[in-house]
Amino acid sequence: LFSFLKEWATFALGPGHGIQLKSGRLIIPAYTYHIDCRECFGKMCKTTPHSFTFYSDSHGKNWRFGEFIPNLETVECQMVSVDEEMGTNILYCNARSPLGFRVQAISSDDGAVFLSGELVQKLVEPPYGCHGSVIGFPAPFISNTHLSYLNYLYSSEQQQTFVPFSRLCTYNQGERPLDLDPVCKSSLDLQAPTWVLYSHPISPTSRVNLGVYLSTFPRDPDSWTEPWVIYEGPSGYSDLACIEISSSVDQGEGIPAMVFACLYENGTKTPYEEISFSFFTLFELL
């Protein structure tokens, strides 16, 4: 680690929360300004920001760091472990950027290496960017009709393309079920996919109006909904949490009882006058 530190002008963690993967690995989001050119007329003249992870497989006794997101300038970031319908799992990174939009990147090896980052055109950044938060949670449910439809789409007679869960949600349960071959109906072992929330000021010109966005298929940078505004006015950094709650009310088959929480900077004249805490549910976003 110390040999690499000589190539870093500075580094920082988060801000916000880290996560623990199903394997037990601890993930801490981080970023550094890498020294690209050390001297220009006696001064350090060029650095480039890169997001990456610190990770531990020993419950924090020992730490390693992953490779930088390779192509785009990325700064403060957060990570989500995303389960996908077909049994795969990815580590999703959403990062601040000075490029006018957020950057997302995906790792298939739990944060050691990230694929090239992509600009997310639906998630705008104000000048110089702003920290944003992401949190994952299990998708509410997959009905028997959804399962049949997905089996049909994945049958050997169909084109082998990845179908987002959001597409399944548009299939009306009142419609006549598809006439499927019995082999197709039993061809898949599905897991509940992970949906992702993201909080950030929604304006491209200033830190104002904190919004919460939803993605039902995080691989796709175009999958984000329009924002639900949780605070109107100057607002800045935020951090999200998902809270499972016990309830005596029947939530329906497969629907978890949960609420979401957001801790965020806000004010009437500037974003930095106070820190507020709000609860909300998925119903506000749909």
pLDDT at 174: 44
Q: In the chain, where does the domain assigned CATH 2.120.10.10 lie?
A: 2-140+192-284
Could you give the CA distance from residue 127 to residue 262 in angstroms, rounded to a whole number? 23
- Determine how many CB atoms are found less than 10 A away from the CB of residue 1: 8
- Using one digit for the tens of pLDDT, what is the confidence trace for 176-216? 333 433 433 344 457 789 999 999 999 999 999 999 999 99
pLDDT at 184: 37
Q: List b or e across 230-260, with b for residues whose CB sees 16 or more CB atoms inside 10 angstroms.
A: bbeebbbbbbbbeeeeeeeeeeeeeebebeb
Residues of the chain with pLDDT under 50: 142-150, 152-188, 249-255
- Using one digit for the tens of pLDDT, what is the confidence trace for 63-99? 999 999 999 999 999 999 999 988 899 999 999 999 9
- Determine how many CB atoms are found less than 10 A away from the CB of residue 144: 10
pLDDT at 182: 40
Q: What is the CATH number of domain 2-140+192-284?
A: 2.120.10.10
**Spatial contact of 248 and 130, defined as CB atoms under 8 Å apart:** no
Pairing of strands 26-37, 101-107: unpaired
Strands across the sheet containing 194-201: 133-138, 194-201, 208-215, 228-244, 258-266, 274-280
Query: What's the predicted TM-score (pTM) here?
Result: 0.81
